[in-house]
């Protein structure tokens, strides 16, 4: 019988959750891994794990799901705007169930001065975890490099990338490296540490545009504007107000303010491998970029 701690990964059917479980299995983890999801049928294909229903809107159900769990990875949910309540339920349920350690996927510099409108959800969760008295590891994941695959194709198609980041740099990190950091955190004893998880270097939009042009052969001009012009242009192009205000403008302001200009050794510290560069991720998705 294994003496390894029992691990629980919430949101296991999401992109990150699946990658965390795969990372744990790639290291031959021989303790029990429990995959928590709102819809266990989505994980019917997952081998070597126990699947339990886990929904942060159902505290009693979550307490049952956490029975016998030693370490609980709380993956922040995608319910932006309403998720703090669910995250707090997750922490309370962990306490009731006697979970011994918590790891949580947060964001860089989520303190109240952040321009990011959902930062308080992460900061509030971090504070609740610290107040719970349960040993923790906070993983402040920088923006996924893969986010660029959502914005770059459109910019490449028009030849222009409008930005109010004013040269601000971002330490983009690939989703797989975030998963490795989270898996590594579960394999190490929690020591009440907060890591900012980043790629190997912080890069500017101009540098990213140059990489994208080199990979696709399509010219991409970076057009620096102010926040108001950026918002007006995006809204005129039909982008929903919610996306413009909470993502496009807020993210550029946040970059301009240096809040994501971060390059740390967290991936290597937690997992033992160097994180992928922005260029390596874009090369791997070259076809999607040019699409
Ligand atoms: N750093 C970044 O750039 C960045 C970008 C995107 C997202 N994120 C954050 O990182 C998280 C993981 O990223 P991802 O790529 O894996 O996102 P994703 O594929 O969209 O996954 C969303 C996750 O939210 C979970 N979830 C939603 N409602 C829930 C509830 N009521 N109770 C428990 N879990 C719930 C889902 O779990 P089930 O469906 O399995 O229940 C799923 O794991 C996101 O949810 C978001 O908070 C960060």
Low-confidence ranges of the chain (pLDDT < 50): none
Dihedral angle, C-alpha 218, 219, 224, 225, nearest 10 °: -70
Structure tokens at 181: 């950091």
Phi-psi region of 86 (alpha: psi -120 to 50; beta: other; left: phi over 0): alpha
Ligand 1 binding residues, C-beta < 6 A: 10-17, 37-38, 55-57, 75-79, 86, 105, 141, 143-144, 147, 175
Candidates 124, 116, 113, 122; CA nearest to 140 is 122
- Ligand 1 probe mutation, 12, 72, 75, most atoms within 8 A of CB: 75
Q: Give CA–CA dist 274/272, Å, rounded.
A: 7
Rounded to two decimals, what is the model's pTM?
0.97
Is domain 7-134 in CATH 1.10.3660.10, yes or no?
no
The tens digit of pLDDT for each residue in 2-46 reads 689 999 999 999 999 999 999 999 999 999 999 999 999 999 999
From the CA of 253, how far away is ligand 1's center (Å)? 24
43 Cα nearest atom in ligand 1: 40
Q: What is the pLDDT of residue 189?
A: 98
Contact 227, 171 (CB under 8 A): no
Number of Cβ within 10 Å of residue 257's Cβ equals 16
From the CA of 78, how far away is ligand 1's center (Å)? 4
Domain ranges in the chain?
7-134, 142-174+198-262+273-291
Pick the CATH number of 142-174+198-262+273-291 from 3.30.300.30, 3.90.25.10, 3.10.20.30, 3.30.530.20: 3.90.25.10
Q: What is the pLDDT of residue 220?
A: 98
Q: What is the pLDDT of residue 52?
A: 98
246 burial type by CB count under 10 A (0-12 exposed, 13-18 middle, 19+ buried)? middle
H or E segment to which residue 88 belongs: helix 83-97
Q: What is the pLDDT of residue 1?
A: 59
Q: What is the pLDDT of residue 291?
A: 79
Gyration radius (Cα) of the chain, Å: 20
Number of Cβ within 10 Å of residue 217's Cβ equals 8
């Amino acid at each position: 019988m294994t003496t390894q701690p029992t691990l629980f990964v919430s949101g296991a059917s999401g992109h990150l959750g699946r990658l965390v479980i795969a990372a744990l299995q790639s290291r031959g983890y021989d303790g029990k891994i429990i995959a928590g999801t709102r819809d266990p049928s989505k994980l019917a294909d997952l081998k070597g794990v126990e699947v339990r229903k886990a929904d942060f809107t159902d505290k009693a159900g979550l307490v049952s799901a956490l029975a016998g769990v030693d370490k609980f990875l709380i993956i922040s949910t995608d319910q932006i705007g309403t998720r703090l309540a669910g995250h707090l339920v997750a922490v309370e349920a962990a306490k009731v169930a006697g979970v011994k350690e918590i790891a949580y996927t947060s964001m860089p510099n989520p303190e109240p001065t952040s321009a990011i409108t959902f930062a308080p959800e992460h900061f509030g969760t971090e504070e609740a975890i610290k107040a719970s008295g349960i040993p923790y590891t906070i993983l402040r994941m920088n923006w996924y490099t893969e986010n660029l695959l959502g914005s770059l194709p459109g910019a490449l198609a028009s030849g222009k990338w409008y930005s109010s980041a004013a040269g601000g740099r971002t330490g983009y990190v690939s989703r797989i490296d975030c998963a490795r950091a989270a898996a590594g955190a579960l394999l190490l004893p929690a020591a009440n540490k907060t890591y900012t998880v980043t790629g190997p270097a912080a890069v500017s939009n101009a540098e990213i545009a140059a990489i994208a042009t080199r990979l696709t052969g399509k010219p991409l001009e970076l057009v620096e504007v102010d926040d108001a012009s950026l918002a007006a242009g995006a809204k005129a192009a039909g982008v929903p107000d919610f996306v413009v205000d909470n993502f496009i403008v807020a993210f550029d302001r946040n970059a301009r303010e240096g809040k994501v200009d971060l390059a740390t050794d967290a991936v290597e510290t937690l997992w033992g491998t160097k994180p992928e560069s922005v260029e390596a991720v874009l090369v791997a998705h070259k076809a999607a970029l040019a699409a």
